[in-house]
């Protein structure tokens, strides 16, 4: 059950929902004295998660920050550097944090540059700059496997009425991670679209179901699928075709790196 080795795992949007469950499931797959850096805006929920994770023999650090802030990537990297140790075998960054944007309005209502800029900063720039900062701070080296996971959505591929910000942000992120996979031969880049979930990112303080409500058990199982894929990918030999775009039915998991 320790297939992932001694990891340094950074998870954004970890305070609840999908990110929180990823953290807890991942904790079952790592060696003792692994390090978890959990990132979110909500300090209280993060600290509860930390207490739960600490029951395993893990070092857990909370970084309470809004990822759209300029200083956010540096804060996360600083915490990771402080908590990390030389015997880490596996670096895993889970880019999960996302917001819905206002899904009650059509494209023609988005006339405010400030609103669109804020959304893109929070959902696209933040994922790019955090990933870049983490890869710089933990460069390629012998004995260290590195994996970046992008939590995606069908909205990255398919347009939905009134979801312009979410669809645009997810499409942008997918392309960004595809370019990364092309550039970094040592890196595993995993794209994962969990499908319908019980909770989706907050919009104006409310929780909205993307299509319909489902049971939490399904979310947990889909997260296990994601992690199984991650575990399997560790032993894989890279091929020249690094960019794997399966059919829509298989879209959930795409291994790009």
Say which residue the tokens 């312009």 belong to. Answer: 164
Q: How far apart are CA 165 and CA 171, in angstroms?
A: 10
Residue 183 lies near a copy of itself (rule: CB under 8 A): yes
Residue 120 lies near a copy of itself (rule: CB under 8 A): yes
In what order do the strands lie in the sheet containing 253-255? 58-64, 34-40, 7-12, 90-95, 145-151, 187-192, 253-255
Q: Which is nearer to a copy of itself, 58 or 79 (CB)?
A: 79
Q: Which is nearer to a copy of itself, 73 or 201 (CB)?
A: 73
Residue 42 lies near a copy of itself (rule: CB under 8 A): no
Residue 240 lies near a copy of itself (rule: CB under 8 A): no
Least Å distance between CB 211 and a copy of itself?
16
Residue 111 lies near a copy of itself (rule: CB under 8 A): yes
Residue 95 lies near a copy of itself (rule: CB under 8 A): no
Residue 27 lies near a copy of itself (rule: CB under 8 A): no
Residue 133 lies near a copy of itself (rule: CB under 8 A): yes
Whether the CB-CB separation of 27 and 21 falls below 8 Å is answered with no
**10 closest CA partner among 119, 149, 145:** 149
Whether the CB-CB separation of 63 and 38 falls below 8 Å is answered with yes
Q: How far apart are CA 30 and CA 209, in angstroms?
A: 32
Footprint of a copy of itself (CB under 8 A): 68-70, 72-73, 106-114, 116-117, 120-121, 124-126, 128-129, 131-133, 135-136, 156, 159-164, 167-176, 178-184, 243
């Amino acid at each position: 059950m320790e297939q992932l080795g001694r990891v340094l795992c950074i998870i954004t949007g970890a305070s609840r929902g999908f990110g929180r469950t990823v953290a807890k499931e991942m904790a079952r797959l790592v060696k003792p004295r692994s390090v978890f850096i959990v990132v979110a805006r909500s300090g209280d929920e993060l600290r509860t998660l930390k207490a739960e994770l600490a029951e395993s023999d893990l070092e857990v650090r909370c970084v309470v920050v809004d990822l759209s802030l300029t200083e956010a990537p540096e804060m996360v990297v600083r915490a990771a550097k402080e908590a990390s140790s030389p015997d880490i075998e596996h670096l895993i960054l889970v880019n999960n944090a996302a917001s819905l944007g206002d899904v009650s309005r059509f494209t023609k209502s988005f006339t405010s540059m400030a609103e669109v800029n804020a959304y893109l900063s929070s959902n696209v720039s933040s994922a790019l700059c955090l990933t870049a900062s983490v890869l710089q701070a933990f460069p390629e080296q012998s004995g260290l496997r590195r994996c970046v996971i992008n939590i995606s959505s069908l909205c990255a591929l398919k347009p939905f009425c009134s979801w312009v910000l979410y669809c645009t942000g997810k499409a942008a992120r997918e392309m960004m991670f595809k370019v990364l996979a092309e550039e970094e031969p040592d890196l595993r880049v995993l794209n994962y679209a969990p499908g319908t979930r019980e909770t989706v990112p907050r919009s104006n303080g409310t929780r909205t179901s993307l299509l319909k409500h489902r049971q939490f058990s399904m979310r947990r199982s889909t997260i296990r699928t994601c992690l199984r894929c991650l575990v399997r990918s560790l032993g894989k030999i890279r091929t020249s075709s690094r960019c794997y775009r399966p059919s829509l039915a298989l879209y959930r998991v795409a291994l790009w790196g």
